[in-house]
Structure 1
């Protein structure tokens, strides 16, 4: 980091410790110097003037954000980094109880250029595209399930004419389908489609909007395959920002909401599973960064927590042990957010199951709706309260 970036980083750490969530946007690198608006306007203008994807490339356009360096990313010449709209986060990060943490947003095809062309043509098909539409694809407080199920309304302002083709809902299908189905059900997607399709679209919109879920990506730039390293923490402001969001939520639970059963959870595919994954290495690297005069982030946070280190030369293990209390890794290659697939830490599993268990007391209206979906499925209304504090 250069001198200016170090100053900004110190402010970011101060915000983690004592700042208000209402100031979150001031630390979002995509909002620095009105970057996202200017870039979205530039991209929208290109979409409305150029005829081909090759012309887009020739324009020299790039989505590289302030404080980021695309040349430091794996396979840095990947076209999708530059030409596909990046995705920093989705959902209400402050209030989400479960946050799905992925490496980076993917693309639809193994052929990187094909994916970039498909997105270009998707926007072109919609006709005149404005900057506000583009910005909604980058980051917003609507959770990913809502964004997918109500894409046409949310992005393009179209009236809801019925439930969306669910096979197009990548995140809902791959990760979040278990939110809609009974715990015992194993064919999550088949059952989720039946339940979702049974709901009136207006009611479905309200219920999915209530889900307390969010998504974070270690880097916002799109590609098919991705393998990161801790180098990203030093070279990418966007990576530092999303890690800061995780640590702030954990510290708030420790310092402000200590004892609350509804703690934040972060679902990460690999975390201390014999070989450290990219998220774990990146968080450790973040904690090792210097804030001021050789004082690390780890030292500043430990001081705030009142934890005394026995040896000032020890590494970040103390704080990482605390962070792991909030992590739920996948226990299999399956990426579904289901109770049985989030079992790596026994202590965490017990705490998670306590909030995962559904409140079975349904109102008469809910029972009637339950009968419409084969009688045995929990209603989506109940599932929308899925992450509320257990009443048991």
Structure 2
């Protein structure tokens, strides 16, 4: 009886916590103070300034490998391979890790050797990475994702490795184009078709387009797609479309169809509203407020972020994934620092939060806490306060769309999990009591017959 009472009281408290509001100003101040301490530790440890009062470019020069010599040279190498017909059999996007200070630390030598093996991780080696797209200084919705689409459908990475083991970059694209039934035959044309690039024969323009696939500091993928859609569509093209996964409708507008459709048009499947220019303008304005960040920038079907997979090793032991975490923390601090009546609070929606993003934040915060001079940084409180004020998560294991059925604040998700657990325990107790009551009745019946 007492157990039942305790469970019900616990459940009552948990339900009440949904509606209890903390002093947000107090939590925000504590978070801001801790972030300041964390940034000081980063500056002391790595000599890197997050340029909190400067624009994104200065920050990216210090924290983004793609803005440093290794990244610039790698993009050049990729473009030269395509334009100069150099087979570059040793080319790999994974080479971005070669000068990564975190990655070069002793340890994980087997996995470091593995990523140099041409027979393995072929998808990651050759398909163009995608890291972040959008205005990291001013966006208000940050869609913090897992890894970029693989472009080879439901093909598993081990199947791709088996089929393309040892292939050069050119061989990979030509063979995969046949698999995808793409019309283009040369590597340059295949890439233009696959990534929906505008026609240009200029090498410098092509390099700019490849760079924009990897990162874009101005436009989100949604904004890019809508811009292309509105230029390509005639009035008669705005019809009713299928949005289920297997529908070929809007296949050239991947992000709009799979991730952001409900944010723009709700549950409507008819796009006729976009015939009006004012609705196009509103959609583009909303799209500009979104920033996409991939925690793992290499293109693949499964980045293996659990156990001891390559994804987890790169995630926790490279500056590459940390860039995404720093983008998030820097944007939050800028909001807290500049906060006024006109400020729009940013929100951060995480795909695979507990499997990837939470692990990354815990890892970098724990490192900062361990520093001899950590300025009193509180690692656990910092993450808790981020979750209370800014962090949301997607609940589905499959499908990354921001929809009414797929997002919840992390604070409420944790309360919900506790409520669900308590409800299950309560249900089991009720079922168990039914069996026990039957035993008691039998015993009582036997006694009365003596």
TM-score (norm. length: structure 1): 0.65
Gaps of 5+ in 1: 1-5, 154-159, 304-308, 310-315, 349-392
Contact 2:92 2:126 in 1 (8 A): yes
Specify the SS of the correspondent of 1:267: strand
Contact 1:91 1:143 in 2 (8 A): yes
In structure 2, what is the equivalent of residue 337 of structure 1?
Answer: 402
In structure 1, what is the equivalent of residue 257 of structure 2?
Answer: 173
Contact 1:331 1:344 in 2 (8 A): no
Pair 1:284–1:292, CA change in 2 (3 A): closer
Pair 1:143–1:162, CA change in 2 (3 A): same
Over residues 295-339 of structure 1, what are the superposed CA-to-partner deviations in whole Å (9 max), with x where a residue is unaligned?
Answer: 4xxx45x65xxxxx6xxxxxx321111110211112344532134
Pairwise CA distance, 1:7: 7.4
Gaps of 5+ in 2: 1-41, 105-109, 165-171, 194-198, 238-248, 307-311, 414-450
Q: Alignment partner for residue 254 of structure 1, among 312, 324, 336?
A: 336
Pair 1:336–1:33, CA change in 2 (3 A): closer
Contact 1:150 1:205 in 2 (8 A): no
Pairwise CA distance, 1:282: 0.8
Max Rg structure? 2
Pairwise CA distance, 1:280: 0.5
Contact 1:105 1:221 in 2 (8 A): yes
Q: Does 1:40 align with 2:75?
A: yes
Specify the SS of the correspondent of 2:124: helix
Work out the CA distance in 2 between the residues paired with 1:11 and 1:47: 37
In structure 2, what is the equivalent of residue 208 of structure 1?
Answer: 284
Over residues 269-307 of structure 1, what are the superposed CA-to-partner deviations in whole Å (9 max), with x where a residue is unaligned?
Answer: 344xxxx32110111101122489534xxx45x65xxxx
Pair 1:215–1:34, CA change in 2 (3 A): same
In structure 1, what is the equivalent of residue 89 of structure 2?
Answer: 58
Aligned length: 305
Q: Alignment partner for residue 317 of structure 1, among 359, 380, 389?
A: 380
Pairwise CA distance, 1:149: 3.3
Pair 1:318–1:133, CA change in 2 (3 A): same
Specify the SS of the correspondent of 1:167: coil
In structure 1, what is the equivalent of residue 26 of structure 2?
Answer: none
Mean Cα displacement is larger for which, 337-346 or 165-174?
337-346
Q: How does 1:33-112 map to 2 (within 5 A)?
A: 33-50=68-85, 56=87, 58-62=89-93, 64-65=95-96, 66-67=99-100, 72=111, 76=115, 77-109=120-152, 110-111=154-155, 112=157
Q: How does 1:1-392 map to 2 (within 5 A)?
A: 10-12=46-48, 14-15=49-50, 18-22=52-56, 23-50=58-85, 56=87, 58-62=89-93, 64-65=95-96, 66-67=99-100, 72=111, 76=115, 77-109=120-152, 110-111=154-155, 112=157, 113=160, 117-118=176-177, 120=187, 122-123=190-191, 128=201, 129=203, 130-140=206-216, 141-150=218-227, 160-162=231-233, 166-182=250-266, 185=267, 190-191=269-270, 193-196=271-274, 198-199=275-276, 204=280, 207-208=283-284, 211=287, 212-228=289-305, 231-257=313-339, 262-271=344-353, 276-290=354-368, 293-295=371-373, 299-300=374-375, 303=377, 316-325=379-388, 326-333=390-397, 334-345=399-410
Work out the CA distance in 2 between the residues paired with 1:205 and 1:224: 35
Pairwise CA distance, 1:88: 1.4
Aligned alpha-carbon RMSD (Å): 3.9
Pair 1:69–1:104, CA change in 2 (3 A): farther
Contact 2:295 2:315 in 1 (8 A): no
Specify the SS of the correspondent of 1:25: helix
Work out the CA distance in 2 between the residues paired with 1:208 and 1:8: 41
Pairwise CA distance, 1:167: 2.3
Over residues 45-92 of structure 1, what are the superposed CA-to-partner deviations in whole Å (9 max), with x where a residue is unaligned?
Answer: 211243xxxx7462534453241759759x843112221211110011
Contact 1:270 1:330 in 2 (8 A): yes
Pairwise CA distance, 1:207: 4.3
TM-score (norm. length: structure 2): 0.57
Work out the CA distance in 2 between the residues paired with 1:84 and 1:267: 26
Pairwise CA distance, 1:176: 0.7
Pair 1:84–1:40, CA change in 2 (3 A): same
Contact 2:81 2:88 in 1 (8 A): no
Pair 1:42–1:233, CA change in 2 (3 A): closer
- By percentage of residues, which structure has more helix? 2
Contact 1:100 1:216 in 2 (8 A): yes
Pair 1:249–1:72, CA change in 2 (3 A): farther
